Structure 1
Amino acid sequence: MKLREVIAYGTAAIMFAALTACSSGTSGDKETGSGAGVAKPSASPSYKSFAAPTRFSLDETILLPMSAGVGKSSMAKHPFPVALHNGAVFISRPDGLDAIHGYRKSFPVTITSEHDPMMKLKDAGSGFAANNPAEAPLITSFGRKTWVFNAVVTRVTGAGTAKSHDMVELMAVDTANAGTKAWFTEIALPDEYPSGDEAEAYVVGRGGDAIVVYARGQLFGVDLASHQRIWEAAGTYRKGAVIAGDRIVAMRKNSDSPQIVGLDAASGKDAWTSPRTSQELSAAGPDAVMTYEKAPNADGARNYLLDAATGAIRNTLPKDAPGSDCAYDGAAVTICTDGFVNPKVAAYDPKTGQELWRLPDTAGTRVAPHVRLVRAGLIYAMANGHPVVLDAASGKDKENQPGIAPYITDGYVGITESKDGTGATAYRAVG
């Protein structure tokens, strides 16, 4: 651990250890809106978690460090490079990883890369010039520990006449010792890269015992046990790969439009390739993905529900069906959305693609909300300028005064924009 990390660690480490040792619980988080109903705070001084929280306290908040929001566009569905574990907040930075308490006021602990980062947080732009490449870190359990992973592009300066070169560093932090880096893996990067992608790297997810890393258009696999890079996928890729089961489904670049490919998570080798050209891709269930592709000689692109293991089409959605941004609710329903000014929301059976409900409704009595988060059978969203929680299976309103509509939740706290819109705030789940 570097000296500056030791100094920063201090009492924050004690609070993280206490927090992560709390009784386990699952998610909860929401966001504030104009005229939002105020959820009453919990009367208990102890940490509480809720499997599927529907209310958050507007009185018990923690303003997160600027790393949680700087250089990120608020137009994104998940605008914050943030992940949660038992109320602890982990924030990916282009130059490292921040950890901070989501329940109490504390100083953030910053874990830095081994070499000079290609981009420093202070150089991330804002507004229309937002250019922070960081994405949410991955939190996963392995070897009886819970780990946080982040990826950073670094520059290794050559000694003497040796040529300088770039690396992507995968850093691993044990949540029980959140002030220090437990281990790291460095992977060499080629000198050539797409314009604008110089500092772009993030953790896609976990497939089996491999951590999948995206950097400068490439995909890599790192073994959790050996900490070694075990594969590099052929070709170059657009951002947005997803992991479903033991498959990595990604958009491979070619001379025309990208194509959807399924890669084996253990080896990085091709398992299948779609015969259609692709425009979009999103997760649509534990073993399914939703794509927006154009078939040869077709009059336009359509949404396809694909089996992640084989690439087989489970269903082709109607042309007017929402399907560009999908998420599985963790129970039995996949929620998809389209549009920002005039949004549409629909629920599908992830096995068959059958539409279960849609908003706006045909009677014209209900509007479609702007979906923030789909989790644990619930939809957290904004409608008519206010936060709302919907039941994912039925589409019916479940809570009209949740306090906030979160982008992220873990059952202890929820994360949404700060009141001035320049950062992020943690709100305590209370019901």
Structure 2
Amino acid sequence: MAAALAGLVLVAGCGGGPEDDGQEGVKDTPSQSASGSAGPQEAPTPLVAHDPPLKFAPAGMWALDTRRLAAATLDGKNAYGYAQDHGELVVADLASGEAVGDGAGPKGDLPEDYGEDTLEKEPPLCERTRPGAGTAGGKRVAVGVFPTVSKGSGTTADTSVYELVTVDAATGTAVLQAPLGIAVGGDFCQVSGVSDTTAVLVLGGSQDGTPTTYGVDLATGRVSWDRPGFEGQLVLGGRVVGRDSAGGSVRVTSLDAATGKEQWQALERSGAQYRITAFSPEAARVRNVDANGSDEVVRLSDGVPLEIEGFGERLHEIQDCVHDQRATTICSARTTKGGELSGYDAVSGTRLWTVGGPSDTEGRSAPELLTAFHGAVYGRVVRDGRPADPIVLDARTGKDRESQPGAAPFQVNEYAAFTAQGVYETAG
């Protein structure tokens, strides 16, 4: 990979990035600047898949802003993010590090001052989360949404609407630039996910109200369905699962991603602040982050709560869970005996192993959990008075698999890794 990808990762927008997932003590980190290179450009080295990767090497010279890198998306041999001056969705080739084509923004005019002074401030609202990735018309596409303004004349006021933009991953050119007819405003603007040919967008909302979730056809750019008062947080298995506050009470609701038809409701509780993430391909983790917080796993097919060891236990607070996209889910927890890391069979929910916490009999230190991929768990071990050490564990056994991986990624595939230090190639 070459330094040219820096224009993408430097500016891929995000609110809260992985600064605390950092890798103090990681050796051979990429350069903090892409400037100063000279001489003829060499042909990019072909990408080599390592599945799962256990070793990482710096990808080249990079100018990084880790807040924004956290909102870039790895998708096979490409990465998706936002252009340096904002307002454009960009595809980058991981082998060369260069942009594929010119990228694309909305056809409509962006608001005045859009993206200005964001080196010191947060990026524009619509660029703070990862772009979506999907397939439409046989093409792999990056998916983003932007605000646009149509200036009025005379006594006619300006109008602002959102526009869906998709970019061909192979050519870096616009496939779709579709005004949605949805008025701009509120605290939500994100692509929650893509299911088949439907992009799921969460727009609007404010401190006094919840957003609306929309299903948009990637082939036509037409809004297929909408659900006011619903924040779609998880798009998985043809479903959209989210926090539903329509009608006053709060509950977890599942919708069909293609039609918006309601499938089930569960866990109705007054004022609940639900955060919903994947536990496995067949189950969702539902965490209530208010003062009377709870933590449960529900079946995606019908919303029925499942009994999972470690969830709902007194003095045992689950922090994060990550599915490895194969057979195992890894969860970190805070216990009376310090940090704990556990591995669960993704189908049965059976706990396979623990590191740290009250059940550990070997005296091992539980690593901080960053991510997991295809049977490998990536984290870092923090010890008093010493820099953090990246580590890779085996997802099925919890045993150390690689004690010197060279980096601690928070997003990874078989070709590349995004870390708090920069972009790394997989090397073994």
TM-score (norm 2): 0.76
Which residue of structure 2 lines up, in the alignment, with residue 51 of structure 1? 51
Aligned to 2:174: 181
Worse-superposed segment, 381-390 or 342-351:
342-351
Q: Distance in 2 between matches of 1:428 and 1:322?
A: 34
List aligned pairs for 1:299-310, cutoff 5 A.
300-310=292-302
- What is the rounded CA distance, in whole Å, between the counterparts of 1:322 and 1:251 in structure 2? 21
Change (3 A) 1:163 1:32: closer
Equivalent positions of 1:88-107 (< 5 A) are: 88-92=78-82, 95-104=87-96, 106=98
Structure 1 vs Structure 2: percent identity of aligned residues? 23
- Note if 1:336 corresponds to 2:331: yes
Instruction: Give 3-state SS (helix, strand or coil) of 1:112's partner.
Output: coil
Q: Residue in 1 aligned with 2:282?
A: 287
Change (3 A) 1:249 1:110: same
Quote the Cα distance in structure 1 between the aligned partners of 2:48 and 2:117: 38
Output the CA distance in 2 between the equivalents of 1:51 and 1:140.
Answer: 22
Q: Structure 1: how far apart are the matches of 2:133 and 2:61? A: 21
Tell me the matched-pair count: 370
Whether 2:347 is the aligned partner of 1:348: answer: no
Q: Tell me what 1:390 maps to.
A: 393
Contact 1:251 1:260 in 2 (8 A): yes
**C-alpha RMSD of matched pairs (Å):** 3.3
1:230 aligns with 2:224: yes
Deviations 1:407-429 (A, max 9, x none): 222322211123xxxxxx22111
**Amino acid corresponding to residue 367 of structure 1 in structure 2:** S
Q: Deviations over 1:326-355 (max 9, x none)?
A: 221111111223469x64332223344332
- Structure 1 190/228 Cα, relative in aligned 2: closer, same or farther at 3 Å? closer
Stretches of structure 1 that go unaligned for 5 or more consecutive residues are 1-11, 14-30, 73-78, 419-424
Structure 2 letter corresponding to 1:429: T
Match of 2:35 in 1: none
Q: 2:23–2:420: 8 Å Cα contact kept in structure 1? A: no
Who is 2:373 aligned against? 375
**Per the alignment, do residues 300 and 224 of structure 1 end up closer, same or farther by CA in structure 2, a change over 3 Å counting?**
same
Counterpart position of 1:36: 26
Q: Partner residue of 2:41?
A: none
Unpaired segments ≥5 residues, structure 2: 6-20, 30-43, 205-210, 383-387
Q: Which residue of 1 aligns with 2:195?
A: 207
Tell whether the 8 Å contact from 2:135 to 2:196 is kept in structure 1 after alignment: no
* 1:403 matched residue in structure 2: 406
Q: Specify the SS of the correspondent of 1:177.
A: coil
Structure with more contact order per residue of length (Cα contacts < 8 Å, sep ≥ 6): 1
Separation of aligned partners in 2, 1:259 and 1:158: 41
| One-letter code aligned to 1:381 | G
Q: What are the residue-to-residue correspondences of 1:351-362 with 2, within 5 Å? A: 351-361=347-357, 362=360
TM-score, length of structure 1 as denominator length: 0.75
